[in-house]
Structure 1
Amino acid sequence: MSGITPGAPDAAHTPADDEQLPRASGPLTGEDPAPTRSGIFLRELMRGSAMTTVLAIVLAMIVGGVLIASTNKEVQAAAGYFFARPGDTLVAIWNAVIGGYEALFRGAVFNPRGNDFAAQIRPLTNSLGFAAPLIAAGLGVALAFRTGLFNIGARGQMLIAAMFAGLFAFNLDLPMWIHLPLTLVIGIAGGALWGGLVGLLKAKTGAHEVILTIMLNYVAYYLLLWMLRTPGLLQMPGNNQPQTAPTPASAQFPDLLGPRFPALDWGFVVVVVATVVVWWVIERSSLGLRLRAVGENPHAARAAGISVQRIYLYAMLFAGGLAGLAAMNQIQGNVTTGFGATIDAGIGFDAITVALLGRSRAWGTFAAGILFGALKAGSFSMQAQGIPVDIVLVVQSLIVLFIAAPPLLRAVFFLPKTDAEKAAKARAKAAKKAVTA
């Protein structure tokens, strides 16, 4: 009997056999199985910014539902005898939350109770009308964000734009095809000059744009208020109230879909065009490349030969001009009976939220503006049902809060961690081991 030498290869076993046999993997081998294409796609989808945004909206709506239920009188009454008849409380909670969000949908998107199709889709046109100035101002803030500038001066830029339009365009007697675009251009120029002042001061003196924009917001407000209280400047003739004369009919945006949809005018079309222009400038032009380079690393951009100071000036000129466009949507479309010092209506600060929700991208900001416009339009229907309008503001704030804290969202919905989070956790664990050792 011939033996086999220990350690010697089997004569019947060839290297080709190793190539044909699949490699063992799994928990018993200590190795993770190779991920499939569908698994990789699903993991990347769950980690993506789009999923984070959707889940942030869902979670904010859930919290909003809790607030709606807790402020509902029927829910409060049924909760008094919860342990005797818990079903009544649950039914009251369901009716309150579903009724509230149904009212939001009915006031923002589609009203099935309308008499005809025009009445049914009017809420959607109202949402788009409310969204137009939010989108314009949000684009200005987003463009500054992409350049590394925190522009919180959209309010002041809107006020100065309205002031310029009132001073230099309201008293003109021109045909509409001249008066309307001239008023629009004057307002955009006023906002651009006020934003460009910030860029110039930052470029020449190094002053921080946050301090500059905050202070210039106050300057713009009180300057406009003084002009509104001074006869011969912006105050309506024969009136003691701090308000301008109505916007001339020849300077107003015509209704886009006719008089049955008064909230939607041609100003929305102008905002769509502005969105396309901003997208092209940032993502496709050489100027946009320099803007993004400065936003990523101004020191590296300077070393590459880019004039950082000039880019700061350009960025704030664009940002101010877009805020001016938002102001023109207000005085040429939404508020044509004369404006006061509160013509910005909080849009300048809401624009920061819109830009953050849109992740400083042109079309993301456009979608975020429509969402916030829908929330604003639907809030009136919710208020008619006895739901506090402040709940909508809470939902808006929570959306931004959850988007700004992706780890919180991943913990709530058990989403996979990103590679950066895994690396940070591994470094923390290694550092802890090093300390204990």
Structure 2
Amino acid sequence: MAEDHQGFFGRANQILPVSMRYGQYRYYWLALFAGVTGHQMLLQFTMGWTMFELTGEKLDLTYLGMAIALPAIFFNLAGGMLADRLEPKYLVAGAQAVSATVVAWLATMVLTGGVDVWHLLVTAAVIGSVQALDQPSRASVFARLVRSEHIVNAVAMESIIWNAVRILGPLIAGVLVQRVSIEASMFTTAATFYVLGSVVSILRLRQRPPAQGQVLRQVVAGIAYVRGHSIFSLIMLLTFCNSMFGMAYVYLMPVFAKEVLDVGAEKIGWLFGATGFGAILGTLVIGKLKAHHPLGLIMLGGAILYGVGLLLFALATSKQMYLASMGILVATGAVHSLYITGGIAALQNLVPDQIRGRVMGLYAITWSLGPLSMAYGGPVADAFGAPQAVATGAAVVIVVAVAILVASPQLRSLPVRVSDAVRDSYQLMPTSQPGRGDAPH
């Protein structure tokens, strides 16, 4: 009977994607699903909605975005350095606890009727600051839960979460805001942050030697490592363009809801959901790629098509075509996932454990610029309209992606799985070989 029991679970385990066959990665994945849902509820919907309800000013959405982005930009590299020197799972746990506490405080302010603009800005700044610890540390954690040959699949599985909660997060937040209250959405977010931090703190990670030496030299070494490999610099340039110019539509959604499409919180949540549904489809494609498939070409093609999709979204919304806008966002979400997930997979597949925190800290700086897209998006939307702001950013994404496609055969020809010889060429720092980690079970 015991053998039958083991046989059943053994067969069930083989059905799972390869990265999900690692028990510790499964725990991480489930906790991350909860935490990212809360993250998307808060930053992609609830805080922007609350700010626009308070003031009705588009520029205040710009200030909110800057309050999130600027601390993350300044502290991400330091966060990556700490992730290389200390145990990153405890940094993640601490960051999530601080985020949960400050969001619960903001929810209390809303509940008591005492919320003001400065409460939102302080909360945004605190969350942006602790994200600088959280993002590179999480990248260091999950890469040590699976073997190197399964990292691309692990990246795809993590991306499924981020893309799935584009549906769930804003949709849940929209329903809670419209049918219950704003503070209910915020308290739910705080609970999910506590769950993620608690689970990550008890994970068992593959051993790796911590970075040692003078801190400033280690930071400089991380920057020099990225500069020494043009493929990393170009991936980060693509992500910079995505964050700075391709994400304004997300933060302008309250404006699209109230002034362009004339819909409520629940319907704008469905637009976010359309993007997330498409992104899941794109991530599933990444997860199914074979070793010889051209990851770099797929990534660059996805970037170009993403820009085209944003142009079409701007056109459809300017004509108040709600259903057409939703359909366009499904396709746009799919190609965006190819673009972003492909870049993360390439980085995680090539960067050695000993410097991963610093490299992912630099990458996180480019990713953290998303809210700062309102620095151009807010004024352009104020002067010419939200659709025009989105179209302007889309044009920049297309131009940069085409330029890299033409100029970089190295990135263009990068396959899904590189040879050991290629991976070894990125091992610039002499260290003892880290353990290979537990086998899937």
Q: TM-score, normalised by structure 2?
A: 0.31
Larger radius of gyration: 1
Q: TM-score, normalised by structure 1?
A: 0.31
The structure with the largest helix share of the pair is: 2
